[in-house]
């Protein structure tokens, strides 16, 4: 009884007394469910988030500068790139790299009711996204003779289904002991007055705390402790929706380690000034990701003397992080800023009625940690080789565009090897798929001798 009394007092003091109005309306089991959920709330954090709502959007800094970008194919960069590949290769061979996959999303927007990682994306095999990434890790395992510990962040909405999908597919050939699942934290949504909202009479309206929550999740789940036990020094961070991500890239890992950076990033050149993607840059001297809407129009269009966009470093959510740096961020020494998203939400009132109300969700973004890193590397990679996300049901960044990008890349390898291509479709796309276990790059593909495709009704498969 004392615990409930203390909770009631704490709710009233925190301005959340409206929660108490629900309790008399609930049966004993529902009341216990709600009380248990409310008891886990960080009321001090909710008070801070409520103050953010009251303060309104923070002004964006006035000074914008592009970052220093390393492009390995540019003249004069080859020696540094070669040295970095050696350093990265040493890290990989020593088993000092861990892999962090952000996979908390559902594929509902794609018309597929399952975790997004289960979405079939292979243009010939229909291999799911999870399997593409797993094959790349298996390739690294084979190439370097080490284990590849994989830390997979799920969400409350898809954790059970994700674990079941991995089990159903026997962890895609990886040792289950090397696959570490952890669940993204959730935060309650607040109304404009800073009071918690409800998705049911006995349940708070909860939403994921953003991909920045991955860093805290690594600490609270025990993943960081597991990394220390394994001797992991660097992390490769990537997101589930991009099957072209190369997590075991010795160039990127080597550049990051050579610079003794806390956090580094891969970017691609923006397609054009109008492409609505965040770009890496400095705002008032601090490195981070500048949202498209925050960059003044004249800067979006600005060009270098060579004719390239000044702000061209499109963020693709691929990072390298030092374990020491993640521990610093997650241990409370550093804190990421909260971002507010105002939404129209279907919420449940105390009397059980369902209404549409304005509310706020809160997220942290992993790229905000860039500003806390004393040193950082920005590596520009080729979009057609490393970035084709699956986000929309149709159009750009859709399953169709991603499969076409995969086929174009693989067909280029096959053509360079002097091998036969299957007939092109009406859009001129040759249906070809190469298993990452066979090759991750064109050079690796060309190094194989005597390759023969598995000719299938839907195309050619090299596996």
Instruction: Please tell me whether residues 244 and 374 are part of one structural domain.
Output: yes
Instruction: Please tell me whether residues 287 and 406 are part of one structural domain.
Output: no
Can you tell me the mean pLDDT for 24-51? Answer: 92
Instruction: Please tell me whether residues 273 and 396 are part of one structural domain.
Output: no
Instruction: Please tell me whether residues 434 and 338 are part of one structural domain.
Output: no
pLDDT at 66 over 90: yes
CATH number of the domain at 177, please.
3.90.550.10
Instruction: Please tell me whether residues 126 and 253 are part of one structural domain.
Output: yes
| pLDDT for the residue 336 | 87
* pLDDT tens digits, 393-411: 999 999 999 999 999 999 9
Instruction: Please tell me whether residues 111 and 216 are part of one structural domain.
Output: yes
| pLDDT for the residue 354 | 94
Instruction: Please tell me whether residues 349 and 400 are part of one structural domain.
Output: no
Instruction: Please tell me whether residues 271 and 305 are part of one structural domain.
Output: yes
For residue 150, tell me if it sits in a domain.
yes
The count of structural domains within the chain is 2
Looking at 390, 409, 441, the residue that finishes a domain is 390
pLDDT at 323 over 50: yes
* pLDDT tens digits, 324-357: 999 998 886 567 889 999 999 999 998 999 999 9
pLDDT at 1 over 60: no
Mean pLDDT (the chain, rounded):
94
Instruction: Please tell me whether residues 435 and 304 are part of one structural domain.
Output: no
For residue 264, tell me if it sits in a domain.
yes
Looking at 360, 390, 420, the residue that finishes a domain is 390
Can you tell me the mean pLDDT for 147-158? Answer: 96
Looking at 365, 390, 415, the residue that finishes a domain is 390
Can you tell me the mean pLDDT for 2-19? Answer: 85
* pLDDT tens digits, 79-131: 999 999 999 999 999 999 999 999 999 999 999 999 999 999 999 999 999 99
| 3 state SS for the chain | CHHHHHHHHHHHHCCCHHHHHHHHHCCHHHHHHHHHHHHCCCHHHHHHHHHHHHHCCCCCCCCEECCCCECCCCCCCHHHHHHHHHHHHHHHHCCCEEEEEECCCECHHHCCCCEHHHCECCCCCCCEHHHHHHHHHHHHHHHHCCCCCEEEEECCCCHHHHHHHHHHCHHHHCCHHHEEEEECCEEECECCCCCECEEECCEECEEECCCCHHHHHHHHCCHHHHHHHHCCCEEEEEECCCCCCCCCCHHHHHHHHHCCCCEEEEEEECCCCCCCCCEEEEECCEEEEECHHHCCHHHHHCECCCCCECCCEEEEEEEEEEHHHHHHHHCCCCCCCCEEEEEEEEEECCCCCEEEEEEEEEECCHHHHHHHCCCCCEEECCHHHHCCCCCCCCCCCCHHHHHHHHHHHHHHHHHHCCCCCCCCCCCCCCCEEECCCCCCCHHHHHHCCCCCCEEECCEEEEC
pLDDT at 73 over 90: no
Can you tell me the mean pLDDT for 145-154? Answer: 97
Please give the residue range of the domain that contains residue 87. 60-390
């Amino acid at each position: 009884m004392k615990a409930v009394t203390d909770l009631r007092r704490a709710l009233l003091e925190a301005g959340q007394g409206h929660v108490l109005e629900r309790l008399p309306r609930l049966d004993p089991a529902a009341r216990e469910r709600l009380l248990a959920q409310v008891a886990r709330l960080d009321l001090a954090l909710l008070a801070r988030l409520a103050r953010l709502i009251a303060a309104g959007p923070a002004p964006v800094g006035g000074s914008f500068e592009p970052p220093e970008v390393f492009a390995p194919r540019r003249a004069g960069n080859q020696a540094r790139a070669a040295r970095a590949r050696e350093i990265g290769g040493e890290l990989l061979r020593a088993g000092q790299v861990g892999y962090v996959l952000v996979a908390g999303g559902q594929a509902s927007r794609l018309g597929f009711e399952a975790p997004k990682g289960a979405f079939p994306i292979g243009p010939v095999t229909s291999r799911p996204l999870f399997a593409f990434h797993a094959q790349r890790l298996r390739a690294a395992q084979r190439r370097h003779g080490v284990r590849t510990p994989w830390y997979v962040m799920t969400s409350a909405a898809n954790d059970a289904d994700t674990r079941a999908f991995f089990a159903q597919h026997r962890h895609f050939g990886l040792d289950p002991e090397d696959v570490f699942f952890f669940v993204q934290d959730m935060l309650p949504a607040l109304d404009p007055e800073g009071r918690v909202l409800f998705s049911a009479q006995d349940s708070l309206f909860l939403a994921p705390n953003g991909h920045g929550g991955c860093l805290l999740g690594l600490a609270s789940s025990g993943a960081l402790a597991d990394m220390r036990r394994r001797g992991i020094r660097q992390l490769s961070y990537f997101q589930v929706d991009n099957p072209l991500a190369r997590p075991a890239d010795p160039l990127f890992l080597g550049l990051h380690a050579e610079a003794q950076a806390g956090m580094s990033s891969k970017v691609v050149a923006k397609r054009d000034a109008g492409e609505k993607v965040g770009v890496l840059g400095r705002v008032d001297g601090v490195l981070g990701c500048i949202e498209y809407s925050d960059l003044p129009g004249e800067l979006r269009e600005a060009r270098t003397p060579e004719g390239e966009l000044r702000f061209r470093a499109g963020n693709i959510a691929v990072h390298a992080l030092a374990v020491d740096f993640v521990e610093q961020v997650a241990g409370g020494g550093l804190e990421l800023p909260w971002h507010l998203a105002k939404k129209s939400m279907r919420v449940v009132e105390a009397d059980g009625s369902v209404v549409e109300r304005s509310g706020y969700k809160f997220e942290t973004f992993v790229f905000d940690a860039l500003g806390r890193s004393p040193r950082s590397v920005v590596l520009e990679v080729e979009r057609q080789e490393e970035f084709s996300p699956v986000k929309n049901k149709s159009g750009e960044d859709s399953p169709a565009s991603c499969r076409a990008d995969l086929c174009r890349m693989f067909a280029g390898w096959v053509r360079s090897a002097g091998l036969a291509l299957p007939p092109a479709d009406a859009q001129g796309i040759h249906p070809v798929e190469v298993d990452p276990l066979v090759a991750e790059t064109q050079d690796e593909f060309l190094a194989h001798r005597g390759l023969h495709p598995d000719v299938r009704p839907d195309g050619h498969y090299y596996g």
